[in-house]
Amino acid sequence: MAKNKDINQSTMQNKTASPANMGVSRFKWIILVMAAVAVAIILTACKTMLTKKDYWETVRERFTKNNIVEPALRGNIYDCNYKLLVGSVPEYRLCMDFKVIDKDSLARTRAQHYRDSVFLQSVDSIAMGMHAIFPDYTEEYFKERLMKGFNEKKNGWSILPRHMATFIEYQECKKLPLFRERPYKGGFHGDEQMRRKKPYGSLASRTLGSLYRDSDRVAKNGLELAYDSILRGTDGIKHNTKVRNARVDFTDRAAVDGNDLMTTIDVDIQDAAEKAIVAQLKNLDAELGIVIVMEAKTGDVKAIVNMSRDANGNYSEIMNYAVSECMEPGSTFKTASIMVGLEDKKFTKETIIDTGSGVWMLHGRPMKDWGWSTRGGFGPISVKKVMEQSSNIGVSRLIDEHYYNDPMAFIKGLEREGAGIPLDLPIKGAQNPRMKKDPKNEHEWWKTTLPWMSIGYESLLPPISTCAFYNGIANHGKLVKPRFVKAEMKDGKIVREFPIEVLREKMCSESTLKDIYEILENVVSAPDGTGKKARCPQFKVCGKTGTAQIAAAGGGGYHSGITRYLISFCGFFPAEDPQYTCLVCIRKYGLPASGGGHCGPVFAQVAQSVMAAGQTHRRPKDICDSTSVMTPRIGAGDMKETQYVLKQLNVPYNTVDTSKAAAKSESKMALCSAETSNNKIKLTRTVLTNGKMPDVKGMGARDAVYALQSAGLKVKLKGAGRVKKQSVEPGTAINKGITIGLELE
């Protein structure tokens, strides 16, 4: 029995332990399964990374696009009065996708069927609508173009291959059948491109500059290139990814738009200068014309015109000759030479120099004055007269006699006053003057160099250097650097101003400057001055003519083929208080060629336009002459209203009654006529008299009708303006109710 008892106890212990053993076994299996899954995941990940790397990278690239450049908007360029000269505007390439692309074959088939059926039903309406928006193209053209893309199932098919649509045109196109649908449904879309536009066309186009045709983001020349770092801004970076069924852009770095520039150019002055020079170029059949207008105190370039004849015979801006082409200045350089001699006390403006019979031998070469073969020479004349007549012999003899033994003194004198010094302009391609500065160099300095150099030969200057020099004289001897840009702006506010750069604080002494002023004024105002064609009746002008024979192109020298001339006039105005400097240059073949006769009239026209434009900023009393009448013209009309207006304008007047009955007839309408004497207005008062025809001639229609109707008359009007004629003469006996005819003019 004891044995059986032990066996039973052992059996019971085994039964009690078996559930626990079974639980441990289960956990082991679970752990084994989880480990197997983990191993499988790791193996799959390794397989994905190693064996299918290219496939998954392709998938990622299809759904996500990184580092997409978001172009910054290029800044605008304005004139000095905030008028837009160059701006960036969106234009659109109109495209049509005729083939639907979708992974789902069923959805693709349905979308393609819808697009094709609607297109075929609407193609005539679309062509008609496109013709209405773009009238330069026919309906037949649009239908043929669209059907070609449809038949070939083209995507990105350009509807107008050589035409970019404006924003308004693009919006109008989106109102047409099928085109009004979403791009993914209808297939029509516009690819936006920012373009640089010049609202004023070719005005100052070479100075403003341009961008390369194949990329509207790369500056090519002019101010666009010189200030590209300010205008272009900073591009942004974004990435594009697919979220659900739509693509979403995420900005990584926002684009910063470029800043704007305020230039010194005045559109109105630029336009006046261009019209004046083009008209003269056509008249002379010349090849090149340049006009520069600068503001005396600041050096601001208000206008810069470079018109040359193109292959079609038209005049347009091809190159910026005013800053990029060095030319022999001719007689306009004589002012600099005479200024050096006056400042060095070598002579005075009254010094007499003999110019002979018009030809003078200098170091074995003949120096000739203009008209020597027909008129002869000027004989002994003063320095002042030498400049008035632009005598080559007079200037060259003066300089040669006083500086032949010390030519460096003359060169240093030119340097001192700033004639021909480098300007270092910001415009790419701008040339600095090329002056001979080493008399010891036997390869460039000869015995004849000094006299010929003194009259504007053997030196090369860009036209803007000549203009800057005369501008320094106009600015009371302070030579400033030509300025093209006044300020940098952001959102309409000035963030930086470009300062005025002074090149010479004082070009010469006050006494020399005074003599030069007098000499240059006489060149224009003297009866026989060479610059008399530059005169302006409203104000005085100072200036100097220039006529230079220039070498033929291609190294042909001065005497091969037809002679070429560079004629010019440079001066400033008004002479009493110079505000502006203007240079006019014309290059032409053959005679006649006269700086004063041909460039002077252009200068006068530009100067008068500039001054006329400036008058709008001045008080009327400041711009009228001593004979101006500052009282308004008064027409006949209602006495009370006339008196009221004159009182409001604070204009003095007195009233004269025509009869004693006037004072007793206040209830009736009083009329008046007016006359002006010694800037005072005299009002003659009359009163409507019963039974008598009033005088309404000279009245406005309203006053005349009111006066006649008050007298019980009917009125019939003809014409517009003031009463010129009335059908019944004043003072004639009349009856109420009759009709009076009034003829207005």
pLDDT tens digits, 491-514: 889 999 999 999 999 999 999 999
Query: Could you state, in order of their start, the residue ranges of all structural domains in the chain?
Result: 68-262, 267-620, 637-744
* DSSP one-letter code for 258: P
| CA–CA gap between residue 435 and residue 407 (Å, rounded) | 13
pLDDT (tens digit, 9 = 90+) per residue, 650-670? 777 777 665 544 444 444 567
Supply the mean pLDDT for the chain.
Answer: 85
The residues near 390 (Cβ < 8 Å, ≥ 6 apart) are 331, 334, 370, 523, 530, 544, 545, 546, 547
Residue type, 698: G
> Which range has the worst mean pLDDT, 243-252, 423-432, 457-466, 556-565?
556-565
Confidence of residue 421 (pLDDT cuts 50, 70, 90): very high
pLDDT reported for residue 102: 73
Q: Which CATH class is domain 267-620?
A: alpha beta
The residues near 111 (Cβ < 8 Å, ≥ 6 apart) are 100, 102, 185
Confidence of residue 135 (pLDDT cuts 50, 70, 90): very high
pLDDT reported for residue 667: 42
pLDDT reported for residue 554: 46
Q: How many CB atoms lie within 10 A of CB 34?
A: 10
Q: Are 659 and 688 in contact (CB under 8 A)?
A: no
Q: Are 582 and 571 in contact (CB under 8 A)?
A: yes
pLDDT reported for residue 658: 58
Confidence of residue 729 (pLDDT cuts 50, 70, 90): confident
Mean pLDDT value across residues 179-201: 88
In percent, how much of the chain has pLDDT > 70? 83
> Which range has the worst mean pLDDT, 306-315, 566-575, 716-725?
716-725
pLDDT (tens digit, 9 = 90+) per residue, 46-63? 777 776 666 666 655 555
pLDDT reported for residue 448: 94
* DSSP one-letter code for 461: B
pLDDT reported for residue 502: 97
pLDDT for 467 beyond 90: yes
Q: Is the pTM of this model over 0.75?
A: no
pLDDT for 152 beyond 80: yes
pLDDT for 562 beyond 80: no
Question: In 621-722, at which residue ranges do the beta strands (DSSP E only) sit?
Answer: 637-638, 653-657, 670-677, 680-687, 714-718
| CA–CA gap between residue 220 and residue 231 (Å, rounded) | 13
Mean pLDDT value across residues 422-435: 93
- Which fold is adopted by the domain 68-262? Penicillin-binding protein 2a (Domain 2) (3.90.1310)
User: What's the token pair of residue 443?
Assistant: 């390869």
The owner of tokens 């010019």 is 568
> Which range has the worst mean pLDDT, 411-415, 566-570, 720-724?
720-724
| CA–CA gap between residue 308 and residue 322 (Å, rounded) | 12
Q: Are 236 and 226 in contact (CB under 8 A)?
A: no
pLDDT for 696 beyond 70: yes
Mean pLDDT value across residues 464-493: 96
pLDDT for 623 beyond 80: no
pLDDT for 519 beyond 50: yes
* DSSP one-letter code for 153: T
| CA–CA gap between residue 655 and residue 303 (Å, rounded) | 53
Question: In 603-658, at which residue ranges do the beta strands (DSSP E only) sit?
Answer: 637-638, 653-657
CATH, range 637-744: 3.30.10.20
pLDDT (tens digit, 9 = 90+) per residue, 353-404? 999 999 999 999 999 998 887 788 899 999 999 999 999 999 999 999 999 9
Alpha-carbon Rg for the chain in angstroms: 43
Q: Which residue has the higher pLDDT, 300 or 630?
A: 300
| CA–CA gap between residue 24 and residue 665 (Å, rounded) | 133
Residue type, 589: Y
> Which range has the worst mean pLDDT, 24-28, 440-444, 551-555, 722-726?
551-555
| CA–CA gap between residue 691 and residue 401 (Å, rounded) | 94
* Dihedral of the alpha carbons of 393, 394, 397, 399, in degrees to the nearest 10: -120
Q: Which residue has the higher pLDDT, 364 or 710?
A: 364
Q: Which residue has the higher pLDDT, 290 or 213?
A: 290
